[in-house]
Amino acid sequence: MPSSKTKDLEQAARLFHALSDQTRLRIIDCLLECEQCVCDLTDMLQAGQSRLSFHLKILKDAGILKDRREGRWIYYSLNPDTIEELQEYAGSLKTRSHAVTGGSPCCD
């Protein structure tokens, strides 16, 4: 059974993979203020729907986005729990990097 730390690292890898594309970062930027319909995102990003759907799926599978259906439209928004998780992970990197002074004995 994988340890909690292994699971955390796997989740961090999924999140950072999802964030490793400029189009996906632009999608996130579009959703910072409020949820958006796929049709609006297509217009804002000037992207084809199939390409946009590919990127939305990656972000949704990573847990970064939530979606809801209203009639025939799907609306996307940021998942605040996952955004908080990203902030905590990034903050822990900063905290741990400040704790290391003069190199780490594990790297000698």
Confidence class of residue 98 from pLDDT cuts 50, 70 and 90?
low
- Residue 4 structure tokens: 């909690």
49-54 contact pairs (CB < 8 A, 24+): 51/23, 52/23, 52/27
Stated as kind and residue range, the H or E segment containing 94 is: helix 80-99
Give the pTM: 0.80
Whether pLDDT at 105 is above 60:
no
Q: What is the pLDDT of residue 38?
A: 92
Q: Which domains does the chain have, with CATH numbers?
A: 8-85 (1.10.10.10)
Q: What is the pLDDT of residue 101?
A: 54
Whether pLDDT at 67 is above 60:
yes
* Partner residues linked to 36 by β-bridges: 76
> How many Å apart are CA 81 and CA 90, to the nearest integer?
14
